[in-house]
Amino acid sequence: MGTSNNRLSPRQKMINLMYIVLTAMLALNVSADVLNGFTQVEEGLTRTNVNVEQRNRALLMTLEAFTQQNPEKGKPWYDKALEVRRVTKDLFMQIDSLKVMIVKEADGADGDVHDIRNRDNLDAAAVVMLNAPKFRGKQLRLNVEAFREYIGSLMPDTVKRNNIFKTLNTDPVLKKGTLVKQLWEESKFDTQPVVAAVTLLTKLQNDIKYAEGEALQAIIGNIDAGDIRVNELNAFVIPQSRIVMRGSKYSANIVLAAVDTTSRPSIFINGNKLANPRGLYEFTPGSTGKFDFAGYMEVPHGDGTVTKLPFKSSYTVIEPAATVSASMMNVLYAGIDNPIEVSVPGVPMSDITVSMSNGSLVASGDHWIAHPTNVGAEAVVTVSANMDGRSMQVGSRSFRVRKLPDPSPYIEYKDGNGSTAHFKGGKGFSKGALLAAPGIGAAIDDGLLNIQFKVLSFETVFFDSMGNAMPEVSSGSQFSSRQKEQFKRLSRGKRFFITRIKATGPDGITRDLSPIEVIVN
């Protein structure tokens, strides 16, 4: 530009200088207006955050009320809503703390977010948010991104999810007149007046609260999204027991079932699709026993999804009878183990319960052991079967309780084959076997019972040549030395008697047993 030859008068120079001063003063006034505008926006956003918080709290209360009425259906969604509230609150409080730090950086330790004095300070926001080593702006960006992804995962509606992503966008920013993109935190807080930085953070809080509200709305909407729609109500009879015996009680629940006649589920049993469209499964069993069947039901939902619901059940075909028998005899004996066998056709042993009057029963493997109490009275064995969780009496039998019969005394010896044998009198007995025998025993060994008794004492009676009786007493079951001396003097054809035998058995009763006549071969 060429140099002007026109020289300005002092008056013109003064006018130009005043214009410059007025322009500067006008610029200062615009700046003050802008700062005041930020303050007004900040106050408006704060009021909006309070209103949004009230709305979100109302949504949570709605979900809480539903959960109290239907805990099983509502609790999983209510727990998810509480988690959304917790995550939102953590990020909201972090932003609150950043606003406080920026204001105190500008106004000092007594700085108040609601009354900022140095609103035009251009350094405080950058110092707090961008300076090392904390890089609080970067950390805030990462937390916002994590929050955005978390909230987005709860939004089934893609349009609303994309709105959340746009609202909480943290991508680098290309400012007008620049060639290189700035990081999100730099574009927000570098050379930014304090009041503007605080307002931007309040706006971010508002966006976070908006995202929280959208997530809560989505959670409430998801509660019924997978529900099955119905257009027909029917009454059905469901028996409580799949086992019915003659003379027993039939019980059934009358229930209301809702179905969708336009979209009936597909039912598969044991791999085969059920032909009956109404789900009726029926057949005629050909044998007794317990049988299982399983399958699944494919149920269509209103949102287009299909749920596969597995099921399994069982049924038992039985005859109306119970079998009760004593393993060894048709009576029960006091003082010993009496094995009892019980069976109910078609019912497993684990589902059978057996009880007895006048005594006790103890399970032992696949049978029971009866211990009757009072001799001469009846013991009634009662059998119950567990059928579908309900105990049903299926049979009983009475047994007469008897005292154990008296045992037979004997002399134990070895026969010609080396086997143990019992000599019970009434025939010849070799002198060698007699001398080798230690004493006498007593037992019931009639083929049904095999019960040992304990011999307490006995007496041997010998006769001299004049026919006089010579008794010898033994304490216990062993022959005494005096008795064995008498055995040695016996000659062929001589005889003696074992008498006054006392023995006790498992019932604790002491008995007097019949004598044994011994004839020496």
DSSP string, 62-96: HHHHHHHH-HHHHHHHHHHHHHHHHHHHHHHHHHH
| Token pair belonging to 217 | 């709305």
Mean pLDDT, consecutive 10-residue stretches, the chain (521 aa), reads 49 54 43 59 76 90 89 90 95 94 93 89 92 93 95 90 93 84 90 88 92 92 62 60 56 62 77 80 71 81 70 67 60 88 79 91 88 91 82 86 91 88 90 92 84 94 88 92 92 92 91 93 86
| C-alpha–C-alpha distance, residues 218 and 279, integer Å | 35
Q: Are 361 and 281 in a shared domain?
A: no
Q: Are 313 and 440 in a shared domain?
A: no
Q: What is the CATH number of the domain that holds 364?
A: 2.60.40.10
Assess if residue 17 is contained within a domain.
no
Q: Are 351 and 283 in a shared domain?
A: no
pLDDT of residue 234: 61
For 175-321, list the strands marked E by DSSP: 232-239, 252-259, 266-269, 272-273, 289-300, 306-317
pLDDT of residue 293: 79
pLDDT of residue 78: 92
- Give burial (CB, 10 Å; 0-12/13-18/19+) of 356: buried
Domain limit, last residue, from 341, 368, 402:
402
344 in Cβ contact with 359 (< 8 Å): no
Assess if residue 157 is contained within a domain.
yes
- Listed in sequence order, the residues at least 6 apart from 200 whose beta carbon sits closer than 8 Å to its beta carbon are 188, 189, 192
Assess if residue 4 is contained within a domain.
no
Assess if residue 9 is contained within a domain.
no
pLDDT of residue 369: 93
Q: Are 203 and 284 in a shared domain?
A: no
Q: Are 438 and 337 in a shared domain?
A: no
Q: Are 177 and 266 in a shared domain?
A: no
Assess if residue 15 is contained within a domain.
no
pLDDT of residue 30: 36
Q: Are 368 and 412 in a shared domain?
A: no
Domain limit, last residue, from 380, 402, 424:
402
The 8-class DSSP code of residue 17 comes to: H
Assess if residue 7 is contained within a domain.
no
Q: Are 133 and 198 in a shared domain?
A: yes
pLDDT of residue 411: 94
Number of domains in the chain: 4
205 in Cβ contact with 92 (< 8 Å): yes
Q: Are 106 and 182 in a shared domain?
A: yes
Assess if residue 238 is contained within a domain.
yes
Domain limit, last residue, from 402, 429, 456:
402
| C-alpha–C-alpha distance, residues 396 and 361, integer Å | 14
Residue 369 is part of which domain span? 323-402
| C-alpha–C-alpha distance, residues 521 and 491, integer Å | 8
Q: Are 118 and 250 in a shared domain?
A: no
pLDDT of residue 270: 82
